[in-house]
Structure formats: C-alpha cells, structure tokens
Structure 1
Amino acid sequence: MTLRIQALCIDSTDPRIPAAFWEKALGWRRTHEEDDEIVLEPRAGSPEDGVAPDLLFLKVPERKEAKNRLHLDLRPADRDAEVARLESLGAKRVDVGQGAEVNWVVMADPDGNEFCVLRALRPDEMAG
C-alpha cells in the first residue's frame, strides 16, 4: 500500500493562534502561510522531516464547541518540565473526564484544542 498521512488538519477561527503555539511548542518551521491556512513541518533535516505528518491550520467560521475527536499525544523526556514549558507558551491544563489516576496530563492549546502530554518512556520500553 502506498497511502500515507500527509497532514493533520486543525480548524480555527484564527489559524495564527494555534499555529504560533505549535510552532514554538514543537520547534517546527512554517512552510506555507495564507490568510486561511498555515502549514507547519518538522525542522529540515530532523529525524521527523518527511516522516511526521504536517500540521495544517485551517480557517473556519465556527468556534470549537466540544472535546476534540482527534488529538495529539506528546511523549517528552520529562513530562512535568514539558507541561511547565507548554504552560509558559499559553497552554492550559484541562479536565475532559480523565480522572486523577492517569499518568498523562491533558492540556489545551491557546485555541482550546486538547492534547496530552504522556509520561516519559522507561528504558525497557524504548526501541533498541
């Protein structure tokens, strides 16, 4: 099969808001920008370049009303440090019913799109 995911599309009434957050959060580059769409791609030459799907931020007239049906899960080396860094960029912790016993943190970007910051992998969980 030759099918691959090209982009994850994120709707927004103002694509500049989530695009600016994710550009800083991921350290990705802006490769396309118009009034109604912005594309972010991994840093050129990085291991993710040409592999990870682009993030495409699209202008839509309606505001976000409910929990996302699709969200990003981020795997940092240090969950708590990453949560603090993302909060400094404008993300907020949110409750979507995950409960207190989970080992991830649910957050929302400045446009209200939820995402999760997972715990770091243990050495025995890392691919060799």
Structure 2
Amino acid sequence: MASRIENFSIDSASPSETAQFWAEALGWNIVHDDGEEVALQPPAGSPEAGILPDLLFLKVPEGKAVKNRLHLDLRPDDQPAEIARLEALGATRVDIGQGTSHTWVVMGDPEGNEFCVLRTLTEAERAAQ
C-alpha cells in the first residue's frame, strides 16, 4: 500500500492570522477554520489543485523558538516584486546565517516561520520544465 502527503502541518499561536497570510501569499483558499486549525487548498482548476498537499495551521500555546526543520520554497516569476509583495503582506527578511552570495532570499511569515523566495527562472529554464 502506498501513501501520499495529505497536508503539511504548521504549528501556530494564531492559526487564522497565519493562514490568512499564506492564503494571500499563495492565492489559495481557506477551506476550514474552527479557530484551532485552519486548512488551505489551491483553488479548484489551478495547476496545483489535487496535486500539492494542503497547508494545515494548528493552534499551539507556545511561540516559535528555533529555526524550522522544514520550510517552503517559493519560485516567483519576478523575485524582487514578489519579495516586496510578501513584505507588504507582513513577511520579513530573516538572517539564519545564509550569507549574501545566494540567489534566494530567506523570509519569515508573520509568526517567524522561515521560507525562501528563490530566484526567477530564465526563459530557457522555464522552457525545459
């Protein structure tokens, strides 16, 4: 019997607020919110629908304390514009010791969960996908 990843679970002191940030950042829909857990799914008809796991934000009493062991990487069409958009939504740049010679930017969501905004693919790289 095989298994598939149903969702990525993310601990959160404020799951509704954190999920709202990610819904706006990804263009996904909040499909469940009972205050203790909030689920996001890609919109129906999108290339991600039914393929990518949902994001599930779970209420926990404690705040984030250490660097994430698992994080999301976002691949934007325009890295500088996407970084500015995410900052306007409440994300911040985060220094986890990555230095300045990388092509990605480490950011934190409003609760400090790290994620990376990768460089924009070249036309040739996009064509090869």
Q: Report the TM-score range of the alignment, normalised by the length of the smaller protein.
A: over 0.9
Give me the CA root mean square deviation: 1.1
Number of equivalenced pairs: 128
The amino acid that maps onto 2:63 is: R
The list of structure 1 runs, each at least 4 consecutive aligned residues, that deviate by more than 6 angstroms after superposition, is none
After TM superposition, list the pairs within 5 Å mapping 1:1-128 onto structure 2.
2-126=2-126, 127-128=128-129
Q: Sequence identity of aligned pairs in percent?
A: 61
How far the C-alpha of 1:63 sits from its partner, in A, is 1.1
Task: Identify unmatched segments of 5+ residues in structure 1.
Answer: none
* Structure 2: distance between partners of 1:6 and 1:84: 31
Gaps of 5+ in 2: none
What CA distance in whole angstroms lies between the structure 2 residues aligned with 1:18 and 1:112?
10
1:14-38 deviation per Cα after TM superposition (whole angstroms, max 9, x unaligned):
1012101001000100111112000
Work out the CA distance in 1 between the residues paired with 2:124 and 2:20: 35
State TM-score, norm by structure 1. 0.96
Q: Output the TM-score relative to the length of structure 2.
A: 0.95
Given that 1:17 and 1:111 are in contact with CA atoms closer than 8 Å, whether structure 2 keeps it comes out as no
